[in-house]
Amino acid sequence: MLPSFSALAQGEKVTIAKTGVQLRVDGVGLHKRAGDSAPTDSQSLVIRNARILVTGDLSEAISYTLRLDVKNALYSSENVGQDTSIAALDRAYVEQHFLPWLALKVGRMPLMSGAIESDYSSMDRYYESYFVELVSYQVAPITTGIDLSATTSAHTFSLQVFNGVQETTGVNKGLQQAADLSTAVGYRGSLFGGMIKPIVSYNQFVRIRGGKGSQRDDTTKFRAGGVGAQFSVAGADLDLEYDVFRKPGFRFYTWDGAGVARAIDNPQDELRTVVMQLAYFDSQTHLRPFVKWSQDCNKIAGEERRNYVRYAYGVEYRPLPKGFRYHAVVVDQQDSDRLTNASRVTTASRKYILGLAAKI
């Protein structure tokens, strides 16, 4: 792709294409025990992330971003969600600056949800809270949408419109309608010279209805909100956040192989999550020790069904100015579930991670 003649004639500074690579490789040892069952142990070498990034400018005001998840390119070729894109395409958008402070993105991109934890790249996360697992991967994975952002020197306000929530509730869902679009609003700030960086988000996920006629799902909206901040001083960063996700009670329908419908009443569902992380970077040794803790409490019909306590501690070694590190991390998870009237089952696991990550 070449810059247009008019751009060249006007002397605009444009970058045709700039490429990058993101790679993370981990050696993982896992010790896991579910309830009273015998523990299991495993060891493996895994590619955690492998991405190719291409960015460029069409003019001084218009840019584009494409990012391909190479790890999933051969294994996730099926259509995903409402935008019929392959799962491996996790960035594909054009951004235009109408004014120095006003920008519009159109295309496939992540939505703003939660707070600090969701804002971290998956390259830099060693585990996720259940809130991130639920909202970012199940309810609203990366999809096509529109993002309108207003930015000052220290504040960014965003409004996003994107596809609704597609759940596998049977046949006869029909095409997506305008009323099925979801929305998000968000705020990112930088106060006192970057010492405090708040993040606030609110999501309204519209569930795409299935069925038809009298056997049509209820109109339903899921809601999520997150508030958090990073406090930075003398090389230390403290992240604090609180997230909530709510599903109202609603009725939906499923169909068996003979086309017979069955009504299912979905009870009210609420998830509350707290996340904390403390990290310190020592410029002399290039070491960044950290500790992270999270707790998720999920209630269904007012009864606690999930209580997940997870934490990680470890150290990163960053010998280069940026973009490359080694890491050694221990992740502990105590996931307690009671999804039926059966007794509670706790799955305990400990994961040892040794690896490296590079952003080139």
Instruction: Tell me the pLDDT tens digit for each residue of 311-336.
Output: 999 999 999 888 899 999 999 999 99
CATH architecture of 110-359: Beta Barrel (2.40)
- Which pLDDT belongs to residue 170? 47
Question: Taking a C-beta distance cutoff of 8 angstroms, is the pair 130, 273 a contact?
Answer: yes
- Which pLDDT belongs to residue 216? 83
Question: Taking a C-beta distance cutoff of 8 angstroms, is the pair 95, 105 a contact?
Answer: yes
**Is a pLDDT exceeding 70 seen at residue 263?**
yes
Q: Which amino acid is at 139?
A: V
**Is a pLDDT exceeding 70 seen at residue 175?**
no
CA 249, CA 245: separation in Å to the nearest integer?
Answer: 13
Which residues, in sequence order, are CB contacts of 116 under 8 Å at separation 6+? 199, 228, 229, 230, 239, 240, 241, 275, 277
Mean pLDDT throughout 199-216? 88
Chain centroid offset of residue 272 CA:
17
**Is a pLDDT exceeding 90 seen at residue 54?**
yes
Query: What percentage of the chain carries pLDDT values higher than 70?
Result: 89
- Which pLDDT belongs to residue 77? 45
* Greater model confidence, 315 or 163: 315
